A and B are shown apart, each in its own frame.
Chain A
Amino acid sequence: MAAVRRGGAKIRAPRRGLTTDVEFTPVWLVLENAFTEIHTKNASKLSFEELYRNAYKLVLKKKGEELYNKVVAFERAWLSTVRALVVRTLSAPLLIGDEVIGRTLATTNERREAGEKFLRCLKQAWEEHNTCMGMLTDVLMYMDRVYCTDHRKKSIFAKSMDVFRDEILRTEFRQEMPALLEVLRRVVLDQIQMARDGEAVDPFAIKANVYMLEALYRSEQEVEDEKLYLRDFEAEFLLQSREFYRDEGERLLKESDAGTYCHHAKRRIDEEGDRCRTTLSESTTPKIQTVVEDELIRNKMKGLIEMESGVAFMVDNDKLHELGLVFELEARVDPRKPELTKAIQRIVMEMGAAINNAAVAASEAAPTTEAVAPAEEQEEGGKKAAPAKTINAQTLAALKWVAEILALKDRFDAICRQAFASDQVLSTALNRSTADVINSFSRSSEYISLFIDDNMKRGIKDKSEAEVDALLEKSIVVLRYVADKDVFETYYKKHLCKRLLLKKSQSVEVEKLMISRMKVELGNAFTGKLEAMFKDMTLSEELSNGYRKHVAGMQRDDGGTGGGAKAAELSIKVLTSMTWPLEAFRSGVDGEGMDGGNGKGGRVEILLPPEIRRVKEGFERFYAQKYSGRRLTWQNNMGDADVKARFPSSRHAVHDVNCSTYAMLILLLFNNDDAHGARLGGREMTLEEIEAATNIPMDDLKRNLQSLAVAPKTRFLVKEPMSREINAGDRFRWNEGFTSKFMKIKVGVVSAGNKVEGDRERRETEKKSNDSRGFAIEAAVVRVMKQRKELPHAQLLGETITQLSHQFRPDVGMIKKKIESLIEREYLERMEEAAVPSYRYLA
């Protein structure tokens, strides 16, 4: 091509050339001399006025263009001498240090010194060029303003920069050698590499050269992203850094532990940032940081976390600072911190699973211990082994589980707070994992309720208000995660019921506090029934007091005629039937109806001795006066009684015996002075006779008899034959020789504490809760449909789940069944015409 073009364009003798001009040459010589002086730093001798005037004159005489070209040529010539100076500083270590031959030929130190010498020389050349061109620009100001502007020429300063670039940086100075720009790049990269290896390099020498590269452009057009720095240096620098950090990261992962790695990575990032400030350009900071972050963090995070000394190790050993580093590193590259989040969640899940498994193991081991526990109890039934004191292995497991879950949560909360700067993403992830752990454990609701129960009964004794408060808070914390709040409610009601009725609770105040906290946390609907239970308790108290007064009043009226002085006192609790989970007291007896069910289940009424019956009827009359239209159902199995008993051989004349209502009835049969005893013909009765005389259900009867005739400390009766089990045909009589050093004796009844449910109980609870869930689902579906009238299936499911989510996690299958059932009962109908399966509400 070049040849063709050469042939095509003939150059003729120039018509207006640079022939010596009488006007131009003398003036130019003055200027040229002055420029030489300026470049050799003798400017202070020169008269600015004269130079400016001369340059002005040339431009005025239309010699602007010639002047401009002359100046450029002058600079070109000058800079080529400067180039020679710079090239002279290129010493052997730099020249042999290229990639082909390898860097090993010269020691680092030699290379560093040679490099610095070169950089300083180039820096000086650049700075002098700038200074001189500044002065030339002053002198040639008129030319710049008038000639360059009007002829669209670059200012002489900008032009001289191009000349500098071409003459100094781009001109090949020796055969087979790269131009100085390439040398400069290699030297700077080498120096940076040395700095990374810990050598002390001169940042100013490099920085000055970077300034130079930033001021020069690749082409005549000064396009911002065509800067030499960006195009000829930065890209190479980033590439080299990426390789370096990729290797370093891999090496570190192999050689050191995670903590060291984090420290190192953080240091490297800071270092590179500092390097950009002091040595390179600020504009590179984000780019090089991305490179380091990519190579040391983003691509290595997974490996780092999964290292032997990774996150799991740090958590195990409470290395909060290092966890903080990991967090900081990953936060740098991704605000969502996916790897760390995943790792932490996995650890929480593992630890949680361990806790859950331990609890399951404990509860599976429980049947054996449970089997032993009652046996022991029975053996030493006579001792006052109060059930409340016997801590069942299951209960222990429950307490342990809650404590461990709390500890787990506390631990990770602390990590999150101290190491993860309470990061939103991580704390959300932690919460979700904690919730998963708690909800993946089928007995969580029950265990939490048990935990509260245990604390209410024993835990809060001798504790300060603040401690109690902390305890309540803990319970709420765990409770917050439970998805099936309805199940928890069932358990809590049951446990609360027992605490209230059996007066096991340490403090009603604390109970109420707990309820109010739940109210804040779970809403009114949740605590409504629990509050109703407390209300019943208060009302019952008033009722009992009222009745006592009423009785006292009657006695005064009677004037003691009817032997009323001996009337037993009555403390009564009237419970609203739907509120109280009374089945909790059924002790798991199959098919056992509530006794005193007024013949509903075909059961006969408990036979009460007359003095007791009188009290009962008296109260019924009193109650009917107060509240008409209400019917009382007596729960004799839940009552207890204080009885005074006399044993001839005992140390005390009279013993105060506290026992269950049933035990009282049994004891009354053997009352010496009593008409019943006489009527029943003496002091010996068989099991069947007792049953006939009292109508106590056989199961309760047996248990009470066990307490009265087997347990050594409360053996008021003697059983024939003497054995642990109560069998048909066993005979009982009064134990005349009973003796005890205590005046007050409490008769325990086997199994009354709140224990973890047995399997059968659990199935029942589940069934019940499923039933109640069924109702809740139906109600929710109807509510939704009533509002929407028509709704596609998927949307109905969604809305129903949302509505119920604060109570429990509804099972989709169950919702479908309930929808079917609602359709059968004609609450809803399928919309045949709809494109997607939809329902219509039938009013």
Chain B
Amino acid sequence: MSGPTDVLREGFAETGEFSDFEIVCGPYTFKVHKAIICAQSKYFRAPCSKFAESDKRTIELKAIGDGEGDEACDDPDAIKLMIDFFYNLDYVAEPLEPSPVPRRLAATSAPSPLPPEPDVVPSVLESQPVEDASGFYVPKRTKKKGKKAIQAGNNTVMHAKVFAAAVKYQVFALQELAATKFASATETSWNHTKFAEAARIAYTTTVEEVRELRDAVGRAIHEHPELLDKLSIETAVKDNAALNYELLRMARGMPAIAENRVIDEGLKCAECGTWLFYEECNPCKGEYRGCCGTCSNPNCLLEL
């Protein structure tokens, strides 16, 4: 069975034949095809046709550590997986090393609130003997049979990075796939040391309105409160105010973010966005929608 994606992969992706564009990221240089990448991602349309990149036929995606401030840069491995996805419509993240055996700081004889951690296998997996004994999937490509089984593995960190790249580069199919993989990997590998790192990435690489990863992280911590005992998790939660707030809400039995946020800070300037102090309108008792009076809005209601 050779579908169009197989043909693409075998014909062009591996050899770089007919490539008309290059994507550079960190150590990698990918020879790609405009037709393929632009079909998957709106992002690449501009550099393929305009700006300096279109002349050079190359775009360099700044990698973490290139000295540009890391939060907006990419992990080259995530970019690699994204490009794999362009050609394969799937990607496989390398499995993580098993967690090191945790040390307990409180050397008391009191029974541990943590469940006795299995050697390597997360407890959830015990009921699923199908899984590899090591708790990892051996990444192998399965033939598509009807509904494709999600090959998630345990690499929550990489899934989070791929997800961030998908959102940034507007690859919607990949965004969905990575989110699914992340959620699935979280369910099996929440107890892995690297989960704290994954949670941090989830809360820093996307805005709060992009909920997929954040919800999965929040749910995992909420469902497994013992995680909060872990130093790695403690550090991650303490560092991130949004995560903090959302966990608080969930602990109170509220949804992670408010459905109807009460705006009590006053009103924003209709034009420039400056906050105005809220005060009830005297004559009509209604809400006042106004303008800061310093911007150039011609529709400004206030002439100060």
Contacts and interface: CB of A to CB of B under 8 A. Distances in A.
Interface of A: 2, 4-12, 14-18, 43-54, 56-57, 59-62, 64-66, 68-69, 73, 76, 135, 138-139, 141-142, 145-147, 150, 166, 171
Nearest to B164: A60
Contact of B282 (A7, A59, A166): A7
A47 B272 contact: no
Q: Is chain B's binding surface mostly helix, strand, loop or mixed?
A: loop
Given A6-B302, A57-B71, A69-B273, A44 B207 contact: no
A4 B292 contact: no
Given A11-B290, A11-B304, A139 B209 contact: no
B191 interface: no
B59 A48 contact: yes
B88 to A, nearest CB: 24
A694 B304 CA distance: 137
B72 interface: yes
B281 A5 contact: yes
B68 interface: yes
**Of B50, B170, B279, most A-chain CB atoms within 10 Å:** B50
A73 B272 contact: yes
Nearest to B289: A9
Contact of A8 (B60, B68, B283): B283
Interface string B276-304: 11010111000010101101101001111
15 contacts: A7-B282, A11-B292, A18-B273, A44-B54, A46-B51, A48-B51, A48-B59, A49-B61, A51-B51, A52-B46, A60-B205, A64-B207, A69-B271, A76-B296, A142-B170
A141 B47 contact: no
B230 interface: no
A44 B52 contact: yes
B298 A57 contact: no
B48 to A, nearest CB: 9
Given A48-B46, A76-B296, A9 B59 contact: no
Contacts of B61: 49
B72 A53 contact: yes
Given A9-B279, A46-B51, 5 more contacts: A14-B274, A18-B272, A45-B52, A57-B69, A59-B207
**Of A9, A17, A66, A76, most B-chain CB atoms within 10 Å:** A9
Contacts of A146: 167, 207, 209-210
A11 B293 contact: yes
Given A8-B283, A44-B52, A146-B207, A56 B72 contact: yes
B47 A49 contact: yes
Nearest to B62: A53
Contact of A47 (B53, B168, B265, B283): B53
B222 to A, nearest CB: 24
5 nearest A-B pairs in the assembled complex, by CB-CB distance: A138-B46, A8-B282, A57-B72, A48-B51, A12-B277
**Of B51, B71, B72, B303, most A-chain CB atoms within 10 Å:** B51
A50 to B, nearest CB: 8
Contacts of A62: 207
Contacts of A8: 281-283, 288
Contacts of B173: none
B271 to A, nearest CB: 7
B298 A14 contact: no
Nearest to A12: B277
A18 to B, nearest CB: 6
A59 to B, nearest CB: 6
Nearest to A62: B207
Contacts of A50: 62
A54 B46 CA distance: 15
A4 B288 CA distance: 13
B82 to A, nearest CB: 15
Nearest to A45: B52
Contacts of B290: 9, 11
Contact of B42 (A17, A61, A76, A141): A141
Contacts of B292: 11, 14
Given A5-B301, A69-B271, A56 B52 contact: no
B299 to A, nearest CB: 9
Contacts of A10: 277, 279
A6 B42 CA distance: 47
Contacts of A9: 279, 281-282, 288, 290, 302
A49 B62 contact: yes
Contacts of A4: 282-283
B43 interface: yes
A802 B52 CA distance: 88
B259 interface: no
A8 B282 CA distance: 5
A54 B277 contact: no
A368 to B, nearest CB: 98
Given A73-B296, A138-B45, A49 B60 contact: yes
B264 interface: no
Contact of A43 (B51, B273, B293): B51
Contacts of A150: 207, 209
B272 A69 contact: yes
Nearest to B24: A49
A56 to B, nearest CB: 5
B8 interface: no
B282 A46 contact: no
Interface in B35-57: 42-43, 45-47, 50-55
A65 B273 contact: yes
A146 B279 CA distance: 31
Contacts of B53: 47-49
A318 to B, nearest CB: 66
A217 to B, nearest CB: 15
B69 A52 contact: no
A76 B168 CA distance: 28
Contacts of A16: 274-275
A9 B288 CA distance: 8
B273 A66 contact: yes
Contacts of B295: 73
Nearest to B209: A150
B64 interface: no
Nearest to A151: B209
A204 to B, nearest CB: 25
A6 B69 CA distance: 46
B50 A43 contact: yes
A135 B46 CA distance: 8
Nearest to A131: B50
A64 B69 CA distance: 18
B177 to A, nearest CB: 18
A230 to B, nearest CB: 23
A47 B298 contact: no
Contacts of B228: none
A60 B59 contact: no
B221 interface: no
A48 B266 CA distance: 38
A11 B276 contact: yes
B73 interface: yes
Interface string B149-174: 00000000000000000011010000
A58 B272 CA distance: 17
Contact of A60 (B71, B283, B298): B71
Contacts of B167: 146
A130 B62 CA distance: 29
Contacts of B43: 52, 141
**Of B168, B283, B303, most A-chain CB atoms within 10 Å:** B168
A548 B303 CA distance: 131
B301 A17 contact: no
B276 A14 contact: yes
**Of B47, B62, B167, B272, most A-chain CB atoms within 10 Å:** B272
A321 to B, nearest CB: 56
Given A60-B205, A65-B273, A48 B47 contact: yes
Contacts of A59: 207
Contacts of B274: 14, 16-18
A8 B304 CA distance: 13
